[in-house]
Amino acid sequence: MSICNGAAGFRGRNPKGIFIHNDAGSQNADAAFYRNWLPTHPLENGFAHAYVASDGILYAEDDAYCAWHCGQTDGNTNYYSIEICQSMGDLEVFKQNEENALKLAAQKCRQYGIEPNTSTIRLHKEVYGTSCPHRSVEIHGGDAATKRHFIERIKYYMGDGRNQIINATIRENSGADFMRLKFEAVDSEDGIYRIRDKANGYLLTAAANKADANVDFRGFDCGEYQEWKLINKIYKNARYTMLECVATPGLYLSVESNGNGGKNNLKLYTDLHNMKQKFYIREESDGRTLIIHAFSGKCVSAK
């Protein structure tokens, strides 16, 4: 059960839009603070579904229930509500919270089929005598500009309707941007990296935690499914690297059918002790990296 316990009633249908708030709270009013504060104060004074702060997101109410967040019946009943926290605190912290709130809004828009526009993405002050969202309005230069910014960023995080998934394949080295990869260290001591293609800025991603799952490139955050541990091996005079996905221990990047028979897809597989999982990692003069399949000599590509 949520911490607000369905206090404002069951909606019984999907939200039709999202209200975005600024909490007018201090630097200390983070998610942990609201987790303690909400159950010890009358909810009639107001609460939102989600509180986005520097320490994470507090989901105070389940999506299927209403929230008393904007002092107007239609808004309270029919909209999802997000508080951007610490709005009286440090500017950089607030801006990061705002960005994370817009990511959450994008996730909810995708989930509920909400198209972000001026009637679905709402500011508290549109329906009530308040300056909320005060800090966002101050930063973005007024109400209309703030709405525009919110809608733009939500669309960006939704991929603007595009499906932000691209196949991961092996291809002949053509020097193209879709095979020039950037290794971003998550933990360089342990050899763990995120691997981003230059053409799209998408991350190499394991689609599921099971053998034979697809591997692709994605333009949205999938956590440890986008973290790869480089395991360097030496066999006689040959050196090669295996890539184990952090979210799927024991499963390694593999080339389907070793690239034979017209196959060029990348998959996850248990350690096969064969060439399908052996790669050379080669740094190029522009600081980008090629992942070269040892057997075929082809490069991992986002295409």
Binding site for Zn ion (CB under 5 A): 21, 124, 132
* Minimum distance of Zn ion from residue 1's CB (angstroms): 25
Q: Kindly state the smallest distance separating residue 40's Cβ from Zn ion, in Å.
A: 20
Provide the minimum distance between the beta carbon of 130 and Zn ion in the complex, in angstroms, as a whole number. Answer: 6
CB of 21 to Zn ion, least distance (A): 3
CA distance 32 to 22: 17
Q: 272-276: which pairs have CB atoms within 8 A and are 24 or more residues apart?
A: none
- CA-to-CA distance for 13 and 11, rounded, in angstroms? 6
Distance (Å, whole) CA 137 – CA 156:
20
Q: Measuring CA to CA, which residue among 211, 199, 193 is closest to residue 272? A: 211
Nearer to Zn ion, 135 or 218 (CB): 135
Please, which residue, 134 or 303, has the CB nearer to Zn ion? 134
State the minimum distance, in angstroms, from the CB of residue 114 to Zn ion. 19
Check if the beta carbon of residue 23 is closer than 8 Å to that of residue 84: yes
Q: How far is the CB of 3 from Zn ion (least distance, A)?
A: 19
Say how many CA atoms lie within 13 Å of 261 toward its Cβ: 4
Which residue blocks in 122-180 are alpha helix, DSSP H?
A: 134-140, 143-158
Q: Which is nearer to Zn ion, 122 or 293 (CB)?
A: 122
Mind giving me the DSSP string for 25-45? --TT--HHHHHHHGGGS-GGG
Half-sphere exposure of residue 146: CA atoms within 13 angstroms, side-chain side = 25
Closest separation between CB of residue 117 and Zn ion, Å? 20
Please identify, using beta-carbon distances, which residue of 124 and 298 lies nearer to Zn ion: 124
Q: Which is nearer to Zn ion, 145 or 272 (CB)?
A: 145
Nearer to Zn ion, 21 or 49 (CB): 21
DSSP state of 61: S
Nearer to Zn ion (CB atom), residue 136 or residue 277: 136
Helix (H, G, I), strand (E, B) or coil at 256: helix
Structure tokens, 206: 């394991």
Q: How many helices (H) and strands (E) does the chain have?
A: 5, 17
